[in-house]
């Protein structure tokens, strides 16, 4: 596997071409942003944690029937993934009210839902990632109806897996964001990452936040939270 030119630099990762047109290398940074890039910072060691945690979870998800982009971990920060075209939707699954949901609907953080919710945001920084529904996504050719159905089915499967995995770790899965991609043959697979950047994870006993909200909300102890949640994940993998 030969690493070639950088194709893209995002807020938290860089993406490189390889000598295989079907494969890319992602490199995880310690950079953190919030509020569409308005808040910037560094979470020391985050890239290593997010790379390793995401790879571990995606391998387990593959085993439980959710196809992912994961191919091979190259190093602490670098992973080979399948090349996909990203479906420009942030797919958000919630088990408990928090964040933008609580704000939008005036519901206290911590309200436990009877069943999980799925929502989409249109991935478009210029528009501020607006909430979008299935009809709108289909109307503007973001995805087909079948693709949206597949994405929802996988997202709920991921939720069931992650909920029970984090429970074993003494962590409550509040909500998370997924991104899906399409391979050259049109197959929908899970892409991007699953990490404390993209999940809300609360200590099951104390309710302490063990995720990026510590950075977003200036709660302190950001690195310690990432390290603690990683330690627990590795203990129960």
Stretch that binds ligand TMP, among 23-31, 71-79, 133-141, 175-183 (CB under 6 A): 175-183
Minimum CB separation of residue 114 from ligand TMP in Å reads 19
Asked if 194 is part of the footprint of ligand TMP (rule: CB under 6 A), the reply reads: no
Minimum CB separation of residue 199 from ligand TMP in Å reads 5
43 or 199: CB nearest ligand TMP: 199
- 3-class DSSP state for residue 61? helix
CB 229 within 8 A of CB 236: no
Cβ count near 108 (within 10 Å): 8
Asked if 226 is part of the footprint of ligand TMP (rule: CB under 6 A), the reply reads: no
Asked if 13 is part of the footprint of ligand TMP (rule: CB under 6 A), the reply reads: no
User: Buried b / exposed e across 4-30, counting CB within 10 Å, b at 16+?
Assistant: eeeeeeeebbbebbbeeeebbbbbbbb
Residue for token pair 């607006």: 130
CB 65 within 8 A of CB 157: yes
Asked if 166 is part of the footprint of ligand TMP (rule: CB under 6 A), the reply reads: no
Asked if 92 is part of the footprint of ligand TMP (rule: CB under 6 A), the reply reads: yes
CB 97 within 8 A of CB 111: yes
* Binding-site member from 45, 67, 88, 99 for ligand TMP (CB under 6 A): 99
117 or 144: CB nearest ligand TMP: 117
CA dist 143 and 236 (Å) reads: 36
* Count of residues engaged in binding ligand TMP, rule: CB under 6 A: 11
- 3-class DSSP state for residue 101? helix
| Interface ranges with ligand TMP (CB under 6 A) | 92, 98-101, 175-177, 198-200
């Amino acid at each position: 596997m030969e690493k070639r030119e950088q194709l893209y630099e995002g807020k938290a990762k860089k993406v490189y071409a390889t000598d295989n047109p079907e494969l890319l290398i992602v490199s995880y940074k310690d950079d953190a942003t919030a509020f569409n890039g308005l808040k910037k910072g560094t979470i020391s060691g985050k890239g290593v944690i997010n790379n390793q945690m995401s790879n571990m979870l995606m391998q387990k998800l593959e085993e439980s029937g959710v196809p992912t982009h994961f191919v091979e971990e190259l190093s602490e920060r670098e992973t080979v993934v399948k090349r996909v075209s990203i479906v420009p939707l942030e797919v958000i699954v919630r088990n408990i009210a928090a964040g933008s949901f609580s704000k939008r609907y005036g519901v206290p953080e911590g309200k436990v839902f009877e069943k999980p919710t799925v929502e989409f945001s249109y991935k478009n920084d210029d528009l501020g990632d607006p909430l979008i529904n299935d009809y709108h996504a289909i109307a503007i050719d973001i995805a087909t109806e079948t693709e949206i159905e597949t994405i929802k089915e996988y997202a709920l499967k991921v939720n069931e897996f992650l909920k029970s995995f984090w429970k074993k770790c003494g962590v409550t899965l509040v909500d998370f964001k997924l991104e899906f991609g399409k391979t050259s043959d049109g197959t929908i697979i899970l892409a991007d990452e699953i990490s404390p950047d993209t999940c809300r994870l609360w200590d099951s006993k104390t309710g302490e936040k063990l995720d990026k909200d510590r950075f977003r909300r200036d709660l302190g102890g950001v690195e310690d939270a990432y390290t603690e949640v990683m330690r627990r994940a590795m203990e129960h993998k």
